[in-house]
Amino acid sequence: MSGAVDLEGRVVVVGAGLAGAELAISLRQLGHRGPVLLIGDEPHAPYQRPPLSKAVLQGKASEHDIRVRAEAAYAKAAVDVVLGVGVRSLDPLGQTLTLTDDTVVSYDGLALTTGGRPRRLPLGDDVDVHELYRLEDAVRLRQLLRPGARLLVVGGGFIGLEVAAAGIAAGADVTLVELQERLLARSCSPALAGRLASVHRERGVDLRCGVGIVGATRRSDGAVDVSLSGGTTVVVDHLVAGVGQVPNDQLAAEAGLAVADGVLVDEGCRTSDPHVVAAGDCARQQHGWLGRLVRLESQQNATEQARTAAATLVGADPTPAGVPWFWSDQYEHKLQMAGVPEPGCQELHRGEPAGPGPLSVLYVRDDTLVGVQTLDRPRDFVAARKLMAQRARLDLGRACDPEVPLGDLVR
């Protein structure tokens, strides 16, 4: 199964987010000559989502600032962009798509870049729960973040924490509840998560871990009574949920493609159908660098997989997958992470876990770095990514001395 299409063939890209835009443009850069059609159900040209919970929420960036590409770039690459129309169904045998306006579109090669959608909180219709995924969500929420507004953020993941930071910056009273006993339990070391918890508490967030929502009712004055596990209640003006994302893989699943919490793809982003590739948040990939099947939700992964999928479609050799990485901005702090450490790695600290200065956490297996998480230590992050890409063997004797550059540890 090659996944390649005739260079004169028609490629349709479903989902006009970061991965879709990059994939469509990359096809041209790689020499595809046939028609390229990018279809997205949002009304906007492709935009970047990371600023939604950062600069856009704080009123520091507009729709224009966050575009993936200038609109002229699509025209220049002869990519036809159709916005505000979804793809309803996929017929892999007939190689056609049916759109929500009933148009039928045929393809020689198809790329699925449908991303994900926020997981919903199971609360009644009586109460508005804000989510943060689309531009409109960020614009609406920004207007609510006012001095004295009472905000309850549900979920201590990256998006929840960034919303909390934006709320504090706007002068709101912020409470954040997290069901797990600590923040970022799935993705971050206890040391780093503990530091972030201190940062948020110092800024005034009422942070409650090990606490979930039991129910919520709207009062006649518009405020919401939220009952929490443990028997307490908070009264708030607005609720925001940041409780994770689910992949938009239903189009593929209904068409009979292999799906398991994401469209299953190989290292070349090929799905189980020879004419279809998938990339970005919707895809679960056999990852070349990690050596296992993962679904990643990051800007870097979406960009890299988009280029890989485009290479596969034109029959070029894709660049091997690099070290996955991610970042989050909270207040003036930058958290950067690379690799996806598995349990059983040795964990080393550079800096004082109790704070308040910069801190790096290194994850090591067999004298090789397999993960890094840094808070305000960008040099460690850059050096660690390089060492991880090289799978360099390290002399770890001085690894915990923050004055010793990581590059000096190479054997």
Ligand X SMILES: Cc1cc2nc3c(=O)[nH]c(=O)nc-3n(C[C@H](O)[C@H](O)[C@H](O)COP(=O)(O)OP(=O)(O)OC[C@H]3O[C@@H](n4cnc5c(N)ncnc54)[C@H](O)[C@@H]3O)c2cc1C
Contacting positions for ligand X (CB under 6 A): 14-20, 39-42, 49-50, 52-53, 86-87, 113-116, 132-133, 159, 248, 251, 280-281, 297-300, 302, 326-328
The residues facing 365 across adjacent strands are 368
- Distant-in-sequence, close-in-space partners of 284: CB < 8 Å, separation ≥ 6: 247, 260, 261, 262, 263, 264, 265, 293, 294, 295
Cα gap 193→206, rounded to integer Å: 16
Residue 230 CB, nearest approach to ligand X (Å): 29
Nearer to ligand X, 49 or 238 (CB): 49
Q: Cis (ω within 30 of 0) for the bond into 356?
A: yes
Distance CA(46)–CA(303), nearest Å, equals 13
Q: In whole angstroms, how close is the CB of 146 to ligand X at the nearest point? A: 20
Give the count of alpha carbons within 13 A of 333, CB side only: 25
Q: Which is nearer to ligand X, 78 or 99 (CB)?
A: 99
| Cα dihedral 164→165→170→172 (10° resolution) | 30
What's the one-letter identity of residue 359?
A: L
Cβ closest to ligand X, residue 18 vs residue 239: 18
- Least Å from the CB of residue 150 to ligand X: 22
Of 135 and 234, which has the nearer Cβ to ligand X? 135
For every residue of 128-179, DSSP letters joined together read: -EE--SSHHHHHHHHHH--TT-EEEEE--SHHHHHHHHHHHHTT-EEEEEES
| 373 touches 336 (CB < 8 A) | yes
Least Å distance, CB 272 to ligand X, is 18
User: Least distance (Å) from ligand X to the CB of residue 308?
Assistant: 13
Minimum separation from the CB atom of position 375 to ligand X (A): 14
Nearer to ligand X, 20 or 92 (CB): 20
What is d(CA 393, CA 411) in angstroms, rounded to the nearest whole number?
6
Specify the residue, 248 or 271, whose C-beta has the smaller distance to ligand X.
248
**99: β partners:** 87
Considering the complex, what minimum distance in angstroms separates the CB of residue 166 from ligand X? 11
Dihedral angle sign, alpha carbons of residues 394, 397, 400, 405:
negative
For residue 305, count CB atoms less than 10 angstroms from its CB and return exposed for 0-12, middle for 13-18, buried for 19 or more: buried
Of the two residues 109 and 116, which places its CB atom closer to ligand X in the complex? 116
CB of 137 to ligand X, least distance (A): 8
Q: Which is nearer to ligand X, 180 or 299 (CB)?
A: 299
Distance in Å, CB of 302 to ligand X, minimum: 4
In this complex, which beta carbon is closest to ligand X, that of residue 74 or of residue 326?
326
Q: What are phi and psi of 122, to 5 degrees?
A: -75, 65
